């Protein structure tokens, strides 16, 4: 069992959990993910790692409740346990293994969308610790759905640019508008862009960075079952080749990812998931012969 040592709601339906999991904290690096299972009947859910503390043996997870299993996870509080936490999985971000002197010459642009802010956090933290330049754009629907603002600000300072779709906080508009502003109006130069967020956001970021000729890395979070390179559910087309997000990714060259296909595959369990969610939230009242 894996004990939760801290639990905090960050926004409506978005929660942060700090979990004791030495098997993961021992070796995890920015860019990797892990899988959790709430209880014996639960699904294996892939989540990106938001932070880790090797000395304490803990990892920090941030998730948005969408399906049955993540709704269950919303109820977890300090002192509760996950049945399983396993990882780290996937490859670490490329920069972790780069020559540090070479890396210091580069300028990074991070684009985080919604809960995608969580996996961006350990990356910028790592780059900050290693003295590498970066700017961070965080985009979210509105002020209420903004997460990790304080944490991000501590790391990024005035290199942080927040934008909301509805203009309720800081800048008004999509992340792509901020990229254009920084690059075209302010003339900022970048060598690499890292975009993590909803698939549709990544698709449009890549469309823009292609025009700007700015190499872009995206982090894919497709459906997974085991997460260890066995089931093949997480397959994606990258540069026309079949790749598995769990062992070949989760980070890929954004210019090569077939987003339209990946978005279709995300829809696979919509109906079945939605059905289970209804059963979960409405309980017995939903069951009735023949209405499925």
Partner 1 sequence: MADIDVKVRIPVREQDPKERAKNFDEVCLGYNEEEATAESLRCLNCKKPFCVEGCPVGINIPGFIEKIKEHDIAGASAVIAADSALPAVCGRVCPQESQCEGKCVRGKMGDPVSIGKLERYVADRAREDGIRPSFAPEKKNKKVAVIGSGPAGLTCAGDLAKKGYDVTIFEALHKAGGVLVYGIPEFRLPKEKVVQPEIDNVKALGVEIKTDYIVGKSLTVDELLDDMGFDAVFIGSGAGLPMFMGIPGEQALGVYSANEFLTRNNLMKAYREDHDTPINCGKKTVVVGGGNVAMDAARTALRLGSEVHVVYRRSEKELPARAEEVHHAKEEGIIFDLLTNPKEILADEEGNVTGIRVIKMELGEPDESGRRRPVEIEGSEYEIECDTVIMALGTSPNPLISSTTKGLDVNRKKCIVADEETGATSREGVFAGGDAVTGAATVILAMGAGKNAAKSIDEYLMSKN
Interaction of residue 167 with partner 1, rule CB under 8 A: no
Q: Does 239 bind partner 1 (CB under 8 A)?
A: no
For partner 1, the closer of residues 41 and 291 by Cβ is 41
Question: 88-107: which residues touch partner 1 (CB under 8 A)?
Answer: 88-89
Among 66, 100, 142, 268, indicate the residue that binds partner 1 (CB under 8 A).
Answer: 268
Give the residue, chosen from 166, 242, 282, 292, that forms a contact with partner 1 under the rule CB under 8 A: 242
228 binds partner 1 (CB under 8 A): yes
The answer to whether 165 and 139 are in contact (CB under 8 A) is: yes
Query: Least distance from C-beta 193 to partner 1, angstroms?
Result: 26
User: To the nearest whole angstrom, how small is the minimum distance from the Cβ of residue 133 to partner 1?
Assistant: 30
CB of 262 to partner 1, least distance (A): 9
Burial of 117 (0-12, 13-18, 19+ CB in 10 A): buried
The stretch near partner 1 (CB under 8 A) out of 46-54, 102-110, 125-133, 232-240 is 232-240
Closer residue to partner 1 in complex, CB, 226/253 = 226
Of 142 and 267, which CB lies nearer to partner 1 in the complex structure? 267
Nearer to partner 1, 64 or 176 (CB): 64
CB 181, min distance to partner 1, A? 35
Which one among 13, 44, 141, 278 touches partner 1, defined by CB under 8 A? Answer: 44
Stretch that binds partner 1, among 119-127, 141-149, 201-209, 260-268 (CB under 8 A): 260-268
Give 186's contacts (C-beta < 8 A, 6+ positions apart).
none
**If DSSP states are collapsed to H, E and C, what string results for the chain?**
CEEEEEEEEEECCEEEEEEECHHHHCCCCCCCEEEEECCCCCCCEEEEEEEEECCCCEEEEEEECCCHHHHHHHCCCCCCEECEEEEEECCCCHHHHCCHHHHHCCEEEEEEEHHHHHHHHHHHHHHHHCCCEEEEEEEECCHHHCCCHHHHHHHHHHHEEEEECCCCCCEECCHHHHHHHHHHHCCCCCCEEEEECCHHHHHHHHHHHHHHCCCEEEECCCCCCCCCCCCCCCEEEECCEEEEHHHHCCEEECCCECHHHHHHHHHHHHHHHHHHHHHHHHHHHHCCCCCC
- Closest distance to partner 1 from the beta carbon of 177 (Å): 30
Nearest-10 crossing angle of helices 117-129, 149-156:
20
Could you tell me which stretch among 52-60, 93-101, 179-187, 265-273 binds partner 1 (CB under 8 A)? 265-273
**Minimal distance in Å, beta carbon 5 to partner 1?**
18
For residue 241, what are the contacts with CB-CB under 8 A and spacing of at least 6? Answer: none
**CB nearer partner 1, residue 24 or residue 175:** 24
Contacts with partner 1 by CB under 8 A lie at 23-24, 26-27, 37, 41-44, 68-69, 72, 83-89, 225-226, 228-233, 235, 237, 242, 244, 247, 261, 264-265, 267-269, 271-273, 276
């Amino acid at each position: 069992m894996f004990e939760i040592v801290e639990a905090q709601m960050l926004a409506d339906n978005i929660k942060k959990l700090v979990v004791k999991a030495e098997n993961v904290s021992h070796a995890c690096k920015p860019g990797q993910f892990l899988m959790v299972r709430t209880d014996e009947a639960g699904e294996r859910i892939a989540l990106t790692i938001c932070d880790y503390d090797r000395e304490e043996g803990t990892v920090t997870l941030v998730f948005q409740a969408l399906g049955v299993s993540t709704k269950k996870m919303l109820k977890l509080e300090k002192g509760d346990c996950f049945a399983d936490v396993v990882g780290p999985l996937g490859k670490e971000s490329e920069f972790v293994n780069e020559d540090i002197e070479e890396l210091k010459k580069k300028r990074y642009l991070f684009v985080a969308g919604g809960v995608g802010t969580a996996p961006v956090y350990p990356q910028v933290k790592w780059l900050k610790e290693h003295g590498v330049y970066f700017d961070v754009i965080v985009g979210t629907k509105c002020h209420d759905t903004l997460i990790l603002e304080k944490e991000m600000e501590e790391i990024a300072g005035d290199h942080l640019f927040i934008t909301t779709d509805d203009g309720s906080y800081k800048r008004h508009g999509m992340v792509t508008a901020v990229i254009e502003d920084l690059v075209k109006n302010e003339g900022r130069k970048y060598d690499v862009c890292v975009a993590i967020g909803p698939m549709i956001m990544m698709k449009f970021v890549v469309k823009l960075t292609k025009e700007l000729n700015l190499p872009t890395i995206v982090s894919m979070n497709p459906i997974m079952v085991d997460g260890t390179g066995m089931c093949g559910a997480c397959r994606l087309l990258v540069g026309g080749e079949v790749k598995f997000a769990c062992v070949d990714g989760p980070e890929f060259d954004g210019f090569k990812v077939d987003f339209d296909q990946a978005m279709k595959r995300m829809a696979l369990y919509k109906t079945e998931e939605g059905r289970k969610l209804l059963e979960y939230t409405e309980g017995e009242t939903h069951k009735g012969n023949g209405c499925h």
